Amino acid sequence: MREDQGSVTVGNASLARMREEGTAILQQIRTAAAKPDPIPAGFLTVKQWSAIWGMSDKRAWVIVCQGIEAGIMERRNLRTLTGGGLRPIPYYGKPAR
């Protein structure tokens, strides 16, 4: 890199142009990463399972864990939009076969 009259050049491209291109690429990555994952049919959170089964969240979590150990259920961490932004949330459902 060398500096000529206040402009820094890298090879044939100016640093300013590289920054603009880099900023555009970064924005594309952030936009693509900000999309929530689709939730597959039959996959619910432990809180949703507990409401369906009519039991406490803790008891439902224990049963879901037993289902995972038995191979009846599987866990998928899906990016979900929450009040705090996009977060990975565990969802549980029947495994795809």
Residue-wise pLDDT for 83-92, tens only, equals: 878 899 999 9
Q: How many CA atoms lie within 13 A of 3 on its CB side?
A: 2
Residue-wise pLDDT for 17-41, tens only, equals: 888 888 888 888 877 777 888 999 9
For the chain, the structural domain boundaries read: 2-33, 46-93
Least Cα distance to 96 among 29, 42, 25, 55 occurs for: 42
pTM of the predicted model, to two decimals?
Answer: 0.67
3-state secondary structure of 39: coil
Strands (E), the chain: 2-4, 7-10, 13-14, 74-82, 85-93
